[in-house]
Amino acid sequence: MAEATANGLGQHALHATHAQDAAAHAEVHQEHPIKLYLVVWAWLFILSTCSYLVDYFGLHGYLRWSLILIFMMLKAGLIVAVFMHMAWERLAMMYAIILPPILVLVFVTMMVFEADYTLLTRIAFFGPGP
């Protein structure tokens, strides 16, 4: 490409070399109907409203937590799959990006035990909360 510019070739030649370059790398350009984006957008609004209503109506306990998590996962899934085009990538890419964050759950489990232990020792030494 650098040679083409240096030789003073026109716009057309530039595009031609560019096309060859793209072919060599075999990349995929994605074009989806606009309707798909609008539908996902609408769903994100609906799900956000739902998760806000969980707080507005003051739901409590396991119902609240499970609803928050469900709406959160649905929103995250829609954003990653459609807006970030992950749904159309090859599996090698999907697993390379999506599996590592799931391993954070191991860390979460460890820290749950750690936090419980800290709370226990704090209660043992300082007594229950003020």
Partner 1 sequence: MAQTTLTHTGQLDRPGGWRGIATDWASDQRAFKNVSWGKAMMWIFLLSDTFIFGCFLLSYMTARMSTRVPWPNPSEVFALRIGGKEIPLILIAIMTFVLISSSGTMAMAVNFGYRRDRRKTAILMLLTAALGATFVGMQAFEWTKLITEGVRPWGNPWGAAQFGSCFFMITGFHGTHVTIGVIFLIIVARKVWRGDFDTGRPGFFTSRRGRYENVEIMGLYWHFVDLVWVFIFAFFYLW
Contacts to partner 1 from residues 11-70, by CB under 8 A: 11, 14, 18-19, 22-23, 25-34, 36-38, 40-41, 44-45, 48, 51-52, 54-56, 58, 64-65, 68-69
Name the DSSP letter for residue 87: G
71, 46 Cβ separation under 8 angstroms: no
Q: Give the Cα separation of 27 and 29 in Å (integer).
A: 7
Q: Does 119 bind partner 1 (CB under 8 A)?
A: yes
What is the three-class DSSP state of 101? helix
Kindly state whether residue 8 participates in binding partner 1, applying the rule CB under 8 A.
Answer: no
Q: Supply the minimum distance, in Å, between the C-beta of residue 2 and partner 1.
A: 10
User: CA–CA separation, 105 vs 103, rounded Å?
Assistant: 5
Applying CB under 8 A, among 16, 63, 66, 88 the residue interacting with partner 1 is 88
Q: Cα dist. 83→51, 59, 103, 119, 130 in Å?
A: 20, 31, 23, 41, 47
CB of 8 to partner 1, least distance (A): 14
Q: How far is residue 72's CA from residue 57's CA, in Å, rounded to a whole number? A: 18
DSSP letter assigned to residue 89: S
Question: By CB under 8 A, how many residues form the interface with partner 1?
Answer: 72
- For position 109 contacting partner 1 by CB under 8 A, the verdict is no
Smallest separation (angstroms) from partner 1 to the CB of 37: 5
CB of 50 to partner 1, least distance (A): 11
* Nearest distance from C-beta of residue 67 to partner 1, angstroms: 9
